[in-house]
Amino acid sequence: MTIKPMNKWGMDLPENTPIIIAGPCSAETEEQTIASCIGAQKAGAHILRAGIWKPRTSPGSFEGIGEEGLVWLRKAKKETGLPTTIEVASAQNVYTALSYGVDILWIGARTTVNPFVVQEIADALQGKDIPVLVKNPINPDVKLWVGAIKRLQNAGLTRIAAIHRGFDTLAQKNIYRNPPNWGLVSEFKKYLPAISIINDPSHIAGKRELLYTVARKALDLKVDGLMIESHITPDKAWSDPAQQVTSDELKHLLDSLLQKNTADHASDSGTALNSWRSEIDLLDNALIDLLAQRKEIVGNISSFKKKNNISIVQFERWKEMILNRLQTGKSQGLNEQLVEGIFDAIHQDSVRFQRKEQEAETDGEARGKGLEAGS
């Protein structure tokens, strides 16, 4: 079977030009859908996207406008002359989308995890000559991602691409909505080297200020395109407002990423600098949150030590801990004095906090006994 790369799908683009898919997270109203799509076209999009059916975690969330939105998207296609793409999550979605002339379909992350549903979609597409994009599953399972694509290949589809939209994480704090885990993309390419990969920085970042950083990294890794969510009024969007951008912001982002205008190089640097600074701000806030969580655990340890008459300072434990932290820091290329200084400060603060907590507990116990004696 010959796999046709996505950038050869009839797109009249210069060689090595990334395909840009853009449009609103969700079709909400006719005016919003058409205006957002026209804005995406003017910003430089090659394909229009819009969510029609939205698989959501909570049943109370906006789950898409449904079939009515396909009428609006068809009008947007006529206005712009650009092909359209939507997410399908069932065989019925496939039949309905095709009846409205949708040009490209994509299978979402929540659907990719279910081989039964993917097979139903593949069966519905049997014999159809239509491009299909497959988002990675929510969980970091490359074989599940590969398996979904192979089901489509077995149905005779040849115009298939993968969408990298990041993976769920069990970590409570992360600067990204769905961490990219770039290594899994490289692993995917080992299984299916002929399949084009589209990066979805919107779902990875979760915040518009991180879009440049994610998209820049993706392009540096030679992805074949980007899918970016844009909206006429992002902050008023009915779904995922924080990760969507206006058409003007999209144009500036694409100009910066693709360096279309050499006169904008100075602003490109500013965009990159602001994006990196935003990422550092988020990392620093995450560090503060982690220190607060650590302090809560130290409080529990302090109470346990007092109850069991254990000394606050455990020199052997401290020695073991600092050696472990230094070794871990060294493996990450961090300066040894920096790591030692940070954890020495954390340890000293931990000791002070434990002493203060134990003194407060002792005073509380003394006051309690005094009240008992006076009663």
- pLDDT at position 265 is 47
Return the structure tokens found at 222: 């030679």
- pTM exceeds cut of 0.75: no
Instruction: Fill in the DSSP letter of residue 6.
Output: G
DSSP string spanning 157-210?
A: ---EEEEE-----S-S--SSSS---HHHHHHHHHH-TTSEEEE-HHHHHSSGGG
Beta strands at 225-229 and 196-199: parallel, antiparallel or unpaired: parallel
Evaluate whether 309 touches 362 at the Cβ level (below 8 Å). Answer: no
- pLDDT at position 219 is 93
**Residue for token digits 């915040």?**
207
Indicate the residue type of 287: L
- For residue 218, CA distances in Å to 23, 51, 189, 213, 306 come to 19, 23, 14, 9, 52
- pLDDT at position 375 is 53
Which of 214, 350, 342, 351 shows the shortest CA–CA distance to 287? 342
CATH superfamily, domain 273-374, is Chorismate mutase (1.20.59.10)
Instruction: Fill in the DSSP letter of residue 25.
Output: S
3-state secondary structure of 222: coil
Which of 270, 239, 242, 264 shows the shortest CA–CA distance to 251? 264
- pLDDT at position 173 is 63
Strand extents, DSSP E, the chain? 19-23, 47-49, 84-88, 104-107, 132-135, 160-164, 196-199, 225-229
- pLDDT at position 358 is 87
Residue 291: alpha-carbon gap to chain centroid? 25
CATH superfamily, domain 6-260, is Aldolase class I (3.20.20.70)
- pLDDT at position 262 is 39
Residue 40 to residue 27: CA distance in whole angstroms: 14
- CB burial of residue 333 (10 Å; 0-12, 13-18, 19+): exposed
Residue 43 to residue 253: CA distance in whole angstroms: 9
Return the structure tokens found at 40: 């995406």
**Residue for token digits 């990969």?**
197
Which of 290, 314, 288 shows the shortest CA–CA distance to 302? 314
- pLDDT at position 284 is 77
- pLDDT at position 41 is 97
- pLDDT at position 7 is 55
CATH 3.20.20.70 placement within the chain: 6-260
- pLDDT at position 5 is 53
- pLDDT at position 1 is 41
CATH 1.20.59.10 placement within the chain: 273-374
pLDDT means per 10 residues, the chain with 375 residues, are 53 82 97 98 97 81 90 98 97 97 97 97 95 96 97 96 91 80 93 96 94 92 96 95 95 86 48 64 73 88 90 89 91 90 92 89 70 58
- pLDDT at position 261 is 40
